[in-house]
């Protein structure tokens, strides 16, 4: 008796599925969108398509592109931790260190040309960043490191980055880092929801709220803090989100949705 079942096979080289035309790109983008696993800010297939195309120009496989391309105020940018991977893949070298209050980054091109850039505490003070509430106070060395990395990579490997800025530099329209902003969540400010508002009053900006959930969860996890405080702060707001946002919100907060 014959069988149409194809046996599973092991071995072989693991490789990314890479689309070869725009129709395949959009088909993949739709699948990612429907999965609910796309980062906040890239929910629509059209947005994911743009991220995939930018990532392919940089040499990132599709799924890495979705995770490493960030949309800041409608502009695609590259997460800073993707830079070393892109440079190493093209036989560049990158060396980073901090000496006192100054961060250094040297990019060495394949032909041996070296480009070194720095960013110091004094530079941050002149830019009005050093005493800025949030990430500059929480992670000052990381902030200096990412700024030096951005300058060195763009100047020394412009052909690799294709002119893209680091996400950490263009958040909020100014040069800042996107390291988690707080160990504990800041009080919510939702002016259109008074304390006595009925539970079915919707959130006016669901994208902003889900993004805030994500940032607070990342910050608490990075600091080793108890995430239950973040969960308690947000869980009662989830029913106020549109239905297509609620599953994402429960996943971000690492909570089981009600049955």
187-240 pLDDT tens trace: 444 544 555 555 556 777 888 888 888 877 777 665 556 677 788 888 888 888
Which regions in the chain score pLDDT beneath 70? 1-16, 40-41, 72-74, 170-201, 220-226
DSSP tag of 5 = P
Q: How far is CA 147 from CA 77, 123, 181, in A?
A: 14, 10, 16
- The structure tokens listed for 84 are 């070393």
First-to-last alpha carbon distance for the chain, in angstroms, is 44
The structure's pTM equals: 0.55
Q: What is the pLDDT of residues 107-129, one digit of tens each?
A: 999 999 999 999 999 988 888 88
Beta carbons of 93 and 108 less than 8 angstroms apart: yes
Rg from Cα positions in the chain:
21
Phi, psi of 152 (to 5 degrees): -65, -40
């Amino acid at each position: 008796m014959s069988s149409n079942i194809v046996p599973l096979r092991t071995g072989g080289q693991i490789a990314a599925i890479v689309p070869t035309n725009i129709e395949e790109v959009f088909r993949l983008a739709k699948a990612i969108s429907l999965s609910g696993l796309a980062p906040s800010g890239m929910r629509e297939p059209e947005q994911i398509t743009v991220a995939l195309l930018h990532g392919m120009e940089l040499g990132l496989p599709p799924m890495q592109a979705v995770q490493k391309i960030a949309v800041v105020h409608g502009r695609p940018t590259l997460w800073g931790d993707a830079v070393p991977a892109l440079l190493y893949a093209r036989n560049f070298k990158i060396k980073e260190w901090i000496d006192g209050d100054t961060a250094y980054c040297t990019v060495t091109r394949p032909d041996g040309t070296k480009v070194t850039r720095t960013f110091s505490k004094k530079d941050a003070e002149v830019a009005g960043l050093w005493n800025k509430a949030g990430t500059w106070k929480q992670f000052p060395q990381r902030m200096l490191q990412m700024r030096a990395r951005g300058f060195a990579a763009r100047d020394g490997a412009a052909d690799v980055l294709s002119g893209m800025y680091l996400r950490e530099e263009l958040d909020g329209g100014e040069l800042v880092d996107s390291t988690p902003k707080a160990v504990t969540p800041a009080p919510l400010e939702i002016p259109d929801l008074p304390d006595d508002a009925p539970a079915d009053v919707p959130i006016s900006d669901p994208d902003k709220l889900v993004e805030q959930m994500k940032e607070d969860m990342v910050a608490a996890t990075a600091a080793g803090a108890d995430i239950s405080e973040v969960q308690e702060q947000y869980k009662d707001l989830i029913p106020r989100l549109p239905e297509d946002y609620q599953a994402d919100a429960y996943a971000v907060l690492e909570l089981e949705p009600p049955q």
